[in-house]
Structure 1
């Protein structure tokens, strides 16, 4: 492990993963600074700055005393703003946070990318991956402003790693949540109609595991820029993965067997680079129970 950071800035700190990340940092005994559009008053951070992540002045204030950054602030779906707002807001925030962090001497950063960087989840028509299990080398097929913003975020992160000599990890998160959160509703929907999850390959990750992946990205011996898929090793659907793929992604090349509910994602990089495997697995309802 690398030496733990002395203070971590978490952007988007009031969101699902932001709160889970602040909780984890508190357990690790690492002081945290938080940046968000508003201060809800209950964040586990001893410094809270309110402002936009694409505002250099707010970011510089939030970076005071920080030596590592976990950048989570984003508009998380193309439906939550105009195409211009979603794309420019996300890429602007990532550029500003990493540029200001690099200029301030920060040398470790994590950015929240997304499974959507592949282009499948928000496409207006059904798309199919070139092969499964998908991995970090899979060619993207982006047709939406959110997926494009995440693709550009990854390119920006790679540039910033070169520009400032930083280590930057882009984590491709899938659907995030927890029991009692939206995972319950989504799992029930997949049991009733598995086609609802085809564009995301039925993947998910508990927010607590998402936070741990970000922490490991800061402390593992990694250099330069890297992209890593982090998902649960099993799907959120009750049906066997091979059956789901045959039905909703027929003809897609299979590069490895996917027994049971194995997630069709190659998690080698997460395991080898980050030492990460998900701890919190969701047990979906059986298909017959949902009907």
Structure 2
């Protein structure tokens, strides 16, 4: 596919760029920062005119796209003032979705967030492992925007039934260099905020490619996490200490992720290959 990748200079985006190209796709990176050169377009996604222009054609770099992967955003709460996070992330996503649909691009995959599950779980989750079945519980402006983006996607595909929009609720993104800090064993409460989850950026790229390949028209959302936790402490021990009253659904295993990837495995064919334990 010829793919427009927003946020191509970010932590996840830079890995996704390399992985999608290695898989044979023609990928044009788009970001507000980055090095000038072939395969990159500098664009302010909060400016709708720039987004339309960038997705339409840029000199001799491309003349349109088969798909859009939208990863650009202020990537977490607390990085910028809440109003800045909202004013950057919400318009950027609307502009990308709206421009893509107007231009006839019917395959969109984008970064939602594990935060819509209720992070940092100061109010315990309804059950463990958490999944996509219970209503969103945003606890920050950043998370609220992610929830609103999903609602936006739901309405857009209702208006345009031929369009596929897939929201990937990525866990805490890690690259191999980050594994020097693992395992997180000292105090289980240090990482209870996302149920001791993470995602290797390379597996994040795999999930994106799977969604590009197989997601049908319409909207769907998927938790995307590694298959294991960030600690050597057994799951039963963690839950007994931190979430003793939360119901457990099924067998958690000793170190299996508590951010359920069952749906992503079943419908996308997602199969995480990377672990800090390697």
TM-score (norm 2): 0.92
Match of 1:171 among 168, 171, 190: 168
User: Residue 169 of structure 1 contacts residue 225 of structure 1 at CA under 8 Å; is this kept in 2?
Assistant: yes
Give aligned pairs, total: 270
Offset of residue 54 of structure 1? 2.0
2:134 aligned residue (131, 135, 138): 138
Residues 47-77 of structure 1: CA deviation (Å, up to 9, x unaligned): 3221222211221122121120000001111
Q: Please tell me whether residue 194 in structure 1 is matched to residue 188 in structure 2.
A: yes
Aligned residues of 2:7 and 2:72 also touching (Cα < 8 A): yes
Partner residue, 2:61: none
1:227 and 1:26 map into 2 onto residues whose CA distance is: 24
What residue is the counterpart of 1:288 in the other structure? none
CA distance in 2: counterparts of 1:83 and 1:15, whole angstroms:
20
TM-score, normalised on structure 1? 0.88
**Shift in alpha-carbon separation, 1:194–1:205, aligned structure 2, 3 A:** same
1:59 alignment counterpart: 51
Q: Deviations over 1:12-67 (max 9, x none)?
A: 0101221111112211222111210122347xxx4322122221122112212112
Structure 1's unaligned 5+ residue stretches are 285-291
Q: 2:230 aligns with which of 236, 241, 246?
A: 236
The corresponding residue for 2:123 is 127
Is the CA contact 2:164–2:215 (under 8 Å) kept in the aligned structure 1? no
Aligned residue for 2:199, secondary structure, equals: strand
Q: How does 1:1-291 map to 2 (within 5 A)?
A: 5=1, 7-41=2-36, 46-64=38-56, 65-121=64-120, 126-165=122-161, 166-181=163-178, 183-185=179-181, 187-188=182-183, 190-283=184-277
- The alpha-carbon deviation at position 138 of structure 1 amounts to 2.2
* 8 Å CA contact retained: 2:169, 2:221: yes
Rounded Cα–Cα distance in structure 2 between residues aligned with 1:40 and 1:221:
32
Native 8 Å contact 1:130 1:139 kept in 2: no
Quick one: distance in 2 between partners of 1:142 and 1:271?
Answer: 25
User: Which residue is equivalent to 2:60?
Assistant: none
Q: Secondary structure at the match of 2:136?
A: coil
Counterpart contact for 2:20–2:205, Cα < 8 Å: no
Q: Is residue 166–residue 215 contact of structure 2 (8 Å, CA) maintained in 1? A: no
Cα RMSD (Å)? 1.6
Is the partner of 2:167 in helix, strand or coil?
strand
Does the 8 A contact of 2:196 with 2:230 survive in 1?
A: yes
Partner of 2:59: none
Runs of 5+ consecutive residues of structure 2 not aligned to the other structure:
57-63
Residues 54, 97 of structure 1: 8 Å contact kept:
no
Counterpart Cα distance in 1 of 2:53 and 2:39:
10
**Range 19-28 or range 105-114, more displaced:** 19-28
Q: Aligned partners of 2:270, 2:251: CA distance in 1, in Å?
A: 21
For residues 176 and 87 of structure 1, the distance between their equivalents in structure 2, rounded to whole angstroms, comes to 21
